[in-house]
Amino acid sequence: GNSVTQMEGPVTLSEEAFLTINCTYTATGYPSLFWYVQYPGEGLQLLLKATKADDKGSNKGFEATYRKETTSFHLEKGSVQVSDSAVYFCALRLIGNQFYFGTGTSLTVIP
Amino acid sequence: EAQVTQNPRYLITVTGKKLTVTCSQNMNHEYMSWYRQDPGLGLRQIYYSMNVEATDKGDVPEGYKVSRKEKRNFPLILESPSPNQTSLYFCASSPSGGNEQFFGPGTRLTVL
């Protein structure tokens, strides 16, 4: 079946540290891939997306590359800030517009 | 202000008492969707709608109903709620095809 697997948290980093959150997927066909971010008490917001293999999505210093050969879409940021503390969700969208989300990874950045 | 609104934000109810959670968007979006968020399970899609009078089941539709009679509204109906439907529910909308979804603030439902 279709699914998204992302690394379990919580993740705690010091400010300016390098961030990687792993995400792999299983899907039929050629899905679009997304990273969403959820701040405390709020709904999810789109962080970045990639719609085909080798595309790189980027936003606010975050990046992720759609790797078809490894079915992965790992999220990276070179230098995290306290304001990046949130829960991050990897997601895929199938051709029929059905979505699958990962379980979420909680990130805490300490000064 | 462009937004997705949900009501109520918090609800405590009892098993078997029918309830409706409303969702409305003011962005003229075609695509709307409902999710539930549970610890350790992430978000799971319940139902989605590509346009008026067009709804489809997501991953976990059992125990839920939806309708899309108007473009802006997409209510979630629980005909006979059970405790395993205690969850945080999110409505979302998108201009088309669900590429970028705009999420509502969430509805926390407790079924006793």
Closest by Cβ to A97, choosing from B4, B41, B98: B98
Q: CB neighbours of B32 closer than 8 A, spacing ≥ 6?
A: B23, B25, B48, B49, B68, B74, B91, B92, B93, B94
Closest by Cβ to B105, choosing from A4, A43, A103: A43
pLDDT of residue A1: 85
For the cut 90, the answer to whether the pLDDT of residue A19 exceeds it is yes
CA–CA gap between residue B43 and residue A21 (Å, rounded): 17
Provide the token pair at A83: 């304001």
pLDDT band at B100 (very low <50, low <70, confident <90, very high): confident
pLDDT band at B103 (very low <50, low <70, confident <90, very high): very high
Provide the token pair at A82: 């306290």
**Mean pLDDT across the stretch A21-41?**
93
For the cut 60, the answer to whether the pLDDT of residue B43 exceeds it is yes
Average pLDDT, chain A: 94
Provide the token pair at A11: 């993740």
Q: Which of B2, B103, B7, B66 is nearest to A89 (CA)?
A: B103
Omega prior to B8 cis, within 30 of 0: yes
**Mean pLDDT across the stretch A9-30?**
94
Q: For residue A86, what are the β-bridge partners? A: A107
Q: What is the largest CA-CA distance in chain B?
A: 37
Sheet containing A75-77, strands listed edge to edge, beginning at the edge strand earlier in sequence: A19-21, A75-77, A62-65, A56-59
Which chain A residues have any C-beta within 8 angstroms of a chain B C-beta?
4, 32, 41-46, 49, 51, 89, 91, 93, 96-104
pLDDT of residue A43: 87
pLDDT band at B1 (very low <50, low <70, confident <90, very high): confident
pLDDT band at A45 (very low <50, low <70, confident <90, very high): very high
CA–CA gap between residue A25 and residue B91 (Å, rounded): 24
For the cut 60, the answer to whether the pLDDT of residue B98 exceeds it is no
**Cβ(A47)–Cβ(A29) under 8 Å?**
no
For the cut 60, the answer to whether the pLDDT of residue A80 exceeds it is yes
Q: CB neighbours of A51 closer than 8 A, spacing ≥ 6?
A: A32, A33, A66, B99
Q: For residue A108, what are the β-bridge partners? A: A12
**Cβ(B76)–Cβ(B23) under 8 Å?**
yes
pLDDT of residue A96: 72
pLDDT band at A63 (very low <50, low <70, confident <90, very high): very high
Average pLDDT, chain B: 94
For the cut 80, the answer to whether the pLDDT of residue B97 exceeds it is no
Contact: B99, A101; criterion CB under 8 Å: no
